[in-house]
Structure 1
Amino acid sequence: MMLSAPSARAVDLRVESVDNVLDHVERSLQVELDRDTVVRKRRSVGARTDRRTWIRIERRGLDKIGVQGWNGTECAARLEDIAQPVWRGCVVWQDADEPVMWRADETELLPSAPIGNAILSEDPKLPDAWWQVFNASLDALAAQDTQRVATPDTVTITQALVTEAVRSIAPTADFDTTVEWWVPAHADLNWANMTAPTFSLFDWEDWGNAPRGLDSASLWGSSLAVPALANRVRHERRHDFESRDGMLMTLFACSKILGPEAHPQDPRLEPARRMADQVIAELHAG
């Protein structure tokens, strides 16, 4: 019988004290963190160091660390032809008091600032050169090989998960939800994890094989509050969106926006619903 790991308590690192964690990282990696540059997110903390690098620290419950581990940034270092920060090293340790592990990855500094929040409300007006490197990096990623499986939102993506998501917004649909192509994906592609004006893609902890079009659909979903930007994403990644798997991933992205936790004032609701209806009709038509 397999024993399941105990669940960790929910913690928001934006409000939780992390001083002891930062101290531990400094001692372990023999580095000094610039406390004035600390960026706090729900489950990660980052800061610049005195050797002109960046350290990202993540807290993850043991129940969220699967067979493949959670060394995504380290494993992404071997990927070729992708614009990303160079990985330098890491330290991993288990929390003494909770069923939790901590991981700190050190990488080169980003070449430019992150574009914005995960979900944008204004058009960043990215130049054509940016989109060229963006496309080249995503195409290069999809062409590589890995045994990893993507974990968007720390949940391992499976055929069953895709089917459940599609059925949640198309309960009476009778089209096949089977994914044909599984390819490497970043699995957390949004505007907070890319830089501009120089393109770089970071935060690789969830990458792995996923249905073709997951990244494109995820970024489109993050862009829906800015219609021109959402249309640009669909245009640039049209070979993904026009594929059958890309249509399923569009519904997958829509399910996250239209789900039971949707905020009634979310400006993405109406365009997500319209697109879901359109894709469902196309899949029915076959």
Structure 2
Amino acid sequence: MFEAPAPATAGRMLAAQQHAADQFGLRATGCRVWGYRGRTLSSAASPHWLRVICAETGTEGGTLWDGPSSSRALPASVPRPGLFRIRDWITEGYAYRAELYALAPDPIVASRPVLDEDPGLPEAWWKEMSAALDALAGVPPPTDREAVREEYLRRVIPAFTGHQVEAAITWSTAHGDLHYGNVTRGPHILDWEGWGRAPYGYDAATLYLYALLIPEVAAHIRTELAPILDRPEARTGLLTVAAQILQAQDRTDFYAELADPVREYLARL
């Protein structure tokens, strides 16, 4: 999803991946999937999927570190690959966690977070995804996990969208990073490190706004997700995602591409 990190980081993470594969009695194969600045490294380890996360010693733990393991408590109606085993170790000033997953039987929808071509997802896919989002939203928001902080959204929405936030926000449980590189054609939802409390409709808003580069596809997605996005309480979720895109446009290429379509959307909102 991201480019390979600096050589020193890449070498250290590849060594950690090899160590994890040896511990599980597997061999990492196939394409390497890097996380931001090499914080994670994932690849197939047939017949499984192996993910390694790293942090400097003493900074491990917390929301992102424990997200995948804590997501195992979510209902089975939220489709995601099973997490089988976890291994932790510390070496040379770094803490590592290896996670062994079931290998998703279908490919991801897109190789990057946003859509730049029609993925051709059938109506059945959208019905299953909507049902999964309903099931997830029906889980009481966890008290110890915040995908989006209230202080943050109340600050960035007016600053970057020109809109105001409702006095009362409807909160629900969300994946928190539901872009097209984190969903498969199954559909299965991947990468649960950031799940938690978010304004209602946040995940559906991400799927919609991340498709705005192709207006006809975005319009179709907006129709498919109308049962969620048409609810008045989804407005804050939509504004939050729009604000995040505009806030990050100067440092992330795909957000820069989305910025003008998002501004046009906000003008119509």
| TM-score where L is the length of structure 2 | 0.84
Which of these residues, 218, 237, 257, is aligned with residue 206 of structure 2?
A: 218
How far did 1:228 drift? 2.2
Listed as ranges, the gaps of 5+ residues in structure 1 are: 1-10, 152-156, 280-286
Q: In structure 1, what is the Cα distance between the partners aligned to 2:263 and 2:184?
A: 29
Aligned position for 2:32: 38
Residue identity opposite 1:83 in structure 2: P
Q: In structure 2, what is the Cα distance between the partners aligned to 1:104 and 1:13?
A: 19
Aligned position for 2:227: 239
Kept after mapping to 1: 8 A contact 2:249/2:255: no
Q: In structure 2, what is the Cα distance between the partners aligned to 1:87 and 1:47?
A: 14
Kept after mapping to 1: 8 A contact 2:213/2:258: yes
Residue identity opposite 1:182 in structure 2: W
> Across the two proteins, how many residue pairs are aligned to each other?
256
How far did 1:243 drift? 3.1
Aligned position for 1:249: 237
Q: In structure 2, what is the Cα distance between the partners aligned to 1:166 and 1:95?
A: 42
Question: Aligned-residue CA RMSD in angstroms?
Answer: 2.6
Note closer, same or farther for the CA distance 1:258–1:26 as it changes in structure 2 (3 Å cut). same
Residue identity opposite 2:218 in structure 1: A
Note closer, same or farther for the CA distance 1:238–1:75 as it changes in structure 2 (3 Å cut). same
Which of these residues, 128, 131, 148, is aligned with residue 133 of structure 1?
A: 128
How far did 1:91 drift? 1.5
Q: In structure 2, what is the Cα distance between the partners aligned to 1:26 and 1:73?
A: 19
Aligned position for 1:49: 45
Q: In structure 2, what is the Cα distance between the partners aligned to 1:123 and 1:25?
A: 37
Q: In structure 1, what is the Cα distance between the partners aligned to 2:170 and 2:156?
A: 18
How far did 1:69 drift? 6.4
Kept after mapping to 2: 8 A contact 1:38/1:45: yes
Kept after mapping to 2: 8 A contact 1:149/1:209: yes
Kept after mapping to 2: 8 A contact 1:179/1:211: no
1:162 and 2:125 are equivalent in the alignment = no
Aligned position for 1:73: 68
1:82 and 2:78 are equivalent in the alignment = yes
Which of these residues, 166, 171, 174, is aligned with residue 185 of structure 1?
A: 174
Q: Which has the higher helix share?
A: 2
How far did 1:232 drift? 2.5
Q: In structure 2, what is the Cα distance between the partners aligned to 1:199 and 1:19?
A: 29
Aligned position for 1:149: 145
Identity of aligned residues (%): 23
Note closer, same or farther for the CA distance 1:168–1:63 as it changes in structure 2 (3 Å cut). farther
Kept after mapping to 2: 8 A contact 1:37/1:47: yes
